C-alpha cells in the first residue's frame, strides 16, 4: 500500500519530486534488452564511463497532463523519440528505437499515474528520458554499452509569473554552442555551457539570455533553453540556424499558426529587426510560451520594448491557449498529437 500523497499541487516548484518508479533498458552485446522497472533513484556506473568523461549523454523533456475527463495525455512523444535518435546519431551513440521509446514512456507514466497533477492545478508530470554511455574508457572513443532510462516528476510552472511577459537580455560575451557544433542536439553539455550566462542574467534581473548566432553575432539564435519566435505583420517568424535545437513546441506552434491563417517564416533574423516586432516569446516544453516584454542589448545599451502595455500579445495568447487546450484535452486534437495513457 503506497503512502498517501501530500503534495500542494497549486504551489509545486519546477523541480524534482521522488515518484514510485523509473524504467530502464540497457544496450549490450549489440542489442537492446528488456524493459526494467525499479524504484531506485541510483545508477550503478563505472568511474571511467564515456558519459562521465567524454560527454556521451543526451536527454529529452516531455510532459503528461490530466484532463477534465480524468484521462492522462502525453504530448507528441513520437517527435521526442525521433529527436533523441538524431541526438544519438550526432554523438555516435546507439539510437533508441521509436517503438521502445514510446512503450517506455507509456509504461513509466502509467506506473506513476498518481503523480500526474489534477486538472486545473497548473501543474503537469514532467517526463525525462535520458541516454548515457556506460563503457569504461580512458581513451576518447564511443561506448559499446548504453543505458536508456526515463524518470518522471510532477512540476509546477517553469516561470513563477506564469503566462506573463518577462525581460530578457542579449550578451555577446557568451556563446551557447559553436557553429556546426552540438546545438541541434539535446546534449547536456549545451546546457552546462549556458549556466554562466543564465546565472549572470538572473543576477541582473532578467529571466533569460537571447543568444546571437555564434559565427557572426548578427542574428538571433536561441533564448536560454528555449526557441525564439516573434509576430510581425500577421506572420509568425522564428530563426533558422544550424545551432538551434529543433523545438517540438515551436514546431507545434508553427502548425497552429498556419491553421489560424498566419504565415510562418523560418529564416535568419538580424538583431535590428527586433525594433519591428509586435509580439515575441520563448517557447519550449517547460513553459510552452514565455512572452517577452523587453529585450536589452547590454553591450550596446539598447532596449527593444516588445510589449508596450506589459501584457501578452493577442496572437501569443491565442496560440498558448490553443496548445494548452490540446494538451489537456479541452481542444480537439486534429493533428493526432496526443497519446492517452490507459
Task: List, for residues 319-339, the tens digit of each pLDDT value.
Answer: 999 999 999 999 999 999 999
d(CA 96, CA 131): 9
Q: Dihedral of CA 312/313/316/320: which sign?
A: positive
3-state secondary structure of 139: coil
Q: What are the extents of the domains in the chain?
A: 9-155, 166-328
- Give the pairing type, strands 263-266 and 235-238: parallel
From the centroid of its chain, how far is CA 285? 4
Domain 9-155 and domain 166-328, same fold? Reply is no
The residues that bridge with 170 in the sheet, in sequence order, are: 297
DSSP letter (8 states) at residue 276: G
Output the DSSP codes for 210-242: EEEPTTTS-BEEEETTBEEEEEETTEEEE---T
CATH 3.30.470.10 matches 9-155: yes
Closest CA to 323 of 244, 248, 238: 248
Fold of 166-328: D-amino Acid Aminotransferase; Chain A, domain 2 (3.20.10)
3-state secondary structure of 61: coil
- Quick check: pTM over 0.85? yes
Tens digit of pLDDT per residue, the chain (342 long)?
Answer: 577 799 999 999 999 999 999 999 999 999 999 999 999 999 999 999 999 999 999 999 999 999 999 999 999 999 999 999 999 999 999 999 999 999 999 999 999 999 999 999 999 999 999 999 999 999 999 999 999 999 999 999 887 777 999 999 999 999 999 999 999 999 999 999 999 999 999 999 999 999 999 999 999 999 988 999 999 999 999 999 999 999 999 999 999 999 999 999 999 999 999 999 999 999 999 889 999 999 999 999 999 999 999 999 999 999 999 999 999 999 999 999 999 999
Q: Is 296 exposed, middle or buried (0-12, 13-18, 19+ CB in 10 A)?
A: buried
Amino acid at each position: 500500500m503506497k503512502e498517501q500523497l501530500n503534495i500542494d499541487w497549486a504551489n509545486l516548484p519546477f523541480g524534482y519530486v521522488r515518484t514510485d518508479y523509473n524504467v530502464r533498458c540497457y544496450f549490450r552485446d549489440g542489442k537492446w534488452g528488456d524493459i526494467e522497472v525499479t524504484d531506485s533513484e541510483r545508477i550503478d556506473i563505472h568511474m571511467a564511463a564515456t558519459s562521465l568523461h567524454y560527454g556521451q549523454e543526451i536527454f529529452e523533456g516531455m510532459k503528461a497532463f490530466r484532463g477534465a475527463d480524468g484521462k492522462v495525455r502525453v504530448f507528441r512523444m513520437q517527435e521526442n523519440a525521433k529527436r533523441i535518435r538524431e541526438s544519438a546519431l550526432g554523438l555516435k551513440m546507439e539510437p533508441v528505437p521509436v517503438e521502445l521509446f514510446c512503450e517506455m514512456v507509456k509504461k513509466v507514466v502509467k506506473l506513476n499515474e498518481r503523480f500526474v497533477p489534477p486538472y486545473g492545478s497548473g501543474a503537469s508530470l514532467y517526463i525525462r528520458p535520458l541516454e548515457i554511455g556506460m563503457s569504461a574508457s580512458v581513451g576518447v572513443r564511443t561506448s559499446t554499452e548504453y543505458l536508456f532510462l526515463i524518470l518522471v516528476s510532477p512540476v509546477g510552472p517553469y516561470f513563477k509569473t506564469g503566462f506573463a511577459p518577462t525581460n530578457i537580455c542579449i550578451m555577446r560575451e557568451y556563446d551557447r554552442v559553436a557553429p556546426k557544433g552540438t546545438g541541434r542536439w539535446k546534449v547536456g553539455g549545451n546546457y552546462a555551457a549556458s549556466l554562466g550566462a543564465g546565472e549572470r542574467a538572473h543576477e541582473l534581473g532578467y529571466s533569460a539570455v537571447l543568444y546571437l548566432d555564434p559565427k557572426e553575432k548578427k542574428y538571433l539564435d536561441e533564448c536560454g533553453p528555449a526557441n525564439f519566435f516573434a509576430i510581425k505583420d500577421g506572420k509568425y517568424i522564428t530563426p533558422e540556424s544550424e545551432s538551434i535545437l529543433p523545438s517540438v513546441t515551436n514546431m507545434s506552434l508553427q502548425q497552429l499558426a498556419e491553421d489560424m491563417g498566419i504565415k510562418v517564416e523560418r529564416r535568419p533574423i538580424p538583431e535590428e529587426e527586433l525594433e519591428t516586432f509586435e509580439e515575441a516569446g520563448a517557447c519550449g516544453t517547460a513553459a510552452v510560451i514565455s512572452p517577452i516584454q523587453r529585450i536589452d542589448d547590454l553591450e550596446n545599451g539598447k532596449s527593444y520594448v516588445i510589449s508596450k502595455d506589459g501584457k501578452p500579445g493577442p496572437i501569443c495568447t491565442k496560440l498558448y491557449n490553443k496548445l494548452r487546450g490540446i494538451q489537456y484535452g479541452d481542444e480537439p486534437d486534429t493533428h493526432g498529437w496526443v497519446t492517452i495513457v490507459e
